[in-house]
């Protein structure tokens, strides 16, 4: 059971499936599990908490895992030492998302790693290719967490046509099973990157209650907004907003964001809810593919199911 693509050959992996570097959720345990299952686990470097990152990188080294590391570029740029810490551990790849990647791509490649850049539009894709990116992750608005406005179905083939083989293209956003993998390959992508589906696994960091919320949700039960960014006192620049599961807090403040900015008591309530795991207030950051998650299993089973179904579908359509 295997689907060989340009991505599997380039990364030296068995299956064309990458773990999204979800902040905190994609820790060393989940990263190792996805790589052990034949995909490529990408550690969630996120905003760049040095103590956490060092610990997780050391765990990956101890596990002798093949891995990548993903960063929120504009945040990592405030402390470039984080990239040095990462490159010292010899990752297979480093993934950069959100902001100008040009100051870092050459450094990543000179260290022997592949440069993966997440892109949300043709303009961003063109910039990333010009910077020397080896792999582009075309991110549709369906995905959880931060993203932009383009839907995945037309974005992937447009980017494939744009880059003309200068970089490999991976699809992300709304993909959680073999149907999504097969569809992405038919659109011209060389593989997929999945976040929400791997969040809802036994290997992922994060509260069991959050995973259960994902399992119980439908795609209709998500929204893209800036409410949870305001609540965390971490508002992102346009055009990026965040998709999460709808809850009582989001429904209360959606469309009233300016008022929320002024309500210190509500921001304090949000902080307490995050600490206490109260997900009627705190956000579960997940995408529309929540509606395709029906059980909480380990990462290996997710990978194997996805490939098995995709292989069968591609064989039937051949």
Cα 229 from Cα 283, distance rounded (Å): 10
Q: What is the chain's Cα-based Rg?
A: 18
Write out the DSSP string of 153-204.
HHHHHHHHHHHTTSSEEEEESS--SHHHHHHHHHTT-SEEEESHHHHTBTTS
How far is CA 59 from each of CA 37, 55, 101, 286, rounded to the nearest angstrom? 18, 6, 27, 26
pLDDT of residue 235: 86
> Domains plus CATH for the chain?
6-205+295-317 (3.20.20.70), 208-276 (no CATH)
pTM: 0.96
Average pLDDT over residues 46-70: 93
Query: Does residue 76 register a pLDDT over 80?
Result: yes
Rounded to whole angstroms, how far apart are CA atoms 169 and 191?
A: 7
| pLDDT tens-digit series, residues 233-280 | 998 888 999 999 999 999 999 999 999 999 999 999 999 999 999 999
Q: pLDDT exceeding 90 applies to what percent of the chain? A: 92
Q: What is the pLDDT of residue 99?
A: 87
Query: What pLDDT shows up at residue 318?
Result: 59
**Residue 1 pLDDT greater than 70, yes or no:** no
Strands 241-245 and 222-225: antiparallel
Residue-wise pLDDT tens digits, 221-243: 999 999 999 999 998 888 999 99
């Amino acid at each position: 059971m295997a689907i060989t693509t340009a991505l599997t050959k380039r990364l030296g992996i068995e299956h064309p499936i990458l773990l999204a570097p979800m902040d905190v959720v994609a820790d060393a345990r989940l990263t190792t599990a996805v790589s052990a299952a034949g995909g490529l686990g990408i550690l969630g470097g996120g905003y760049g908490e040095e103590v956490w990152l060092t610990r997780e990188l050391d765990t990956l080294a101890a596990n002798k895992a093949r891995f990548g590391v993903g960063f929120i570029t504009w945040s990592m740029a405030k402390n470039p030492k984080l990239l040095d810490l990462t490159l010292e551990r010899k990752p297979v790849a480093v993934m950069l998302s959100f902001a100008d990647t040009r100051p870092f791509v050459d450094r990543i490649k000179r260290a022997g790693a592949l440069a993966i850049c997440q892109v949300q539009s043709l303009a961003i894709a063109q910039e990333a290719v010009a910077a020397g990116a080896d792999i582009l992750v075309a991110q549709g608005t369906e995905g959880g967490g931060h993203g932009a406005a383009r839907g995945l179905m037309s974005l992937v083939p447009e980017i494939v046509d744009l880059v003309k083989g200068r970089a490999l293209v991976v699809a992300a956003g709304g993909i959680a099973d073999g149907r999504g993998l097969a569809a992405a390959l038919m659109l011209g992508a060389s593989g997929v990157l999945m976040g929400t589906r791997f969040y809802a696994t036994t290997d992922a960091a994060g509260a069991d209650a959050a995973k259960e919320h994902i399992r119980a949700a439908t795609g209709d039960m998500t929204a893209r907004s800036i409410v949870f960014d305001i609540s965390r006192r971490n508002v992102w620049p346009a055009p990026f907003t965040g998709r999460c599961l709808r809850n009582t807090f989001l429904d209360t403040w959606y469309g009233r964001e300016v008022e929320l900015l002024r309500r210190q008591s509500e921001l304090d309530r949000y902080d307490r809810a995050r600490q206490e795991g109260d997900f009627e207030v705190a956000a579960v950051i997940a995408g529309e593919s929540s509606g395709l998650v029906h059980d909480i299993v380990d990462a290996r089973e997710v990978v194997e199911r996805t490939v098995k179904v995709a292989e069968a579908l591609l064989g039937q359509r051949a």
